[in-house]
Amino acid sequence: MSDTSPVTVLVLYDSRAGLVRGLAERVCAGAREVAGVEVIERTVDDAVPADLLRCDALILGSPNWSGVTGHLKTWLDESGDLWESGDLAGKPGAAFAAGWSMHGGLEATLLQLFHLLVGHGMIFVGLPWSERMRRSGSYYGATAHGELSEDDREQAQALGRRVARLAVRLRASEAS
């Protein structure tokens, strides 16, 4: 019996000044481009642990406050029981981050998010090299600094699309 329910991509983020929210909107738009995908967009203030159990893929976003915000980190720390249960293991995960400075630690923030995803046994999805990456983004995920550029928006949308496509492929391989 095959599962005909949509593949669910959870985009969970903390946003303080709007840059992360802008990236989140484009991450969601990219995921929605993929047939058979439902997107759940949640800020850390609105999310509940059950959202993690519903998702087939998870994309985390944080402003760069010398790394992940304490608010998001605390929320994720409280999902520690899922590390032990393995409920997120084998699912795709990705990250995005924004800050005011290009060299103010965006990759460090992405790496902290990466660590949290890998700790759950998730399959980390980054961005492959493109000419656009000279101006925006990172191998580790989508980024923005100062303000959202069109390159930032395109990188975020590409990240959402990549994660959703992988989640759909994984679901199909499990059904066969």
- pLDDT per residue over 64-85, tens digit each? 988 899 999 999 988 878 888 9
pLDDT above 50 (res 157):
yes
Residues 6+ away with beta carbon under 8 Å from 132: 151, 154, 155
Where are the chain's structural domains?
7-175
* SS (HEC) of 19-33: HHHHHHHHHHHHHHC
pTM attached to this predicted model = 0.95
At the topology level, CATH places domain 7-175 in Rossmann fold (3.40.50)
Percent of the chain with pLDDT over 70: 99
Cβ(125)–Cβ(158) below 8 Å: no
Query: Phi, psi at residue 50, to the nearest 5°?
Result: -60, -25
Q: Strand 142-145 to strand 92-99: parallel, antiparallel, or no bridges (unpaired)?
A: parallel
Compute the average pLDDT of residues 53-64: 96
pLDDT above 90 (res 54):
yes
- pLDDT per residue over 87-130, tens digit each? 999 999 999 999 987 778 899 999 999 999 999 999 999 998 88
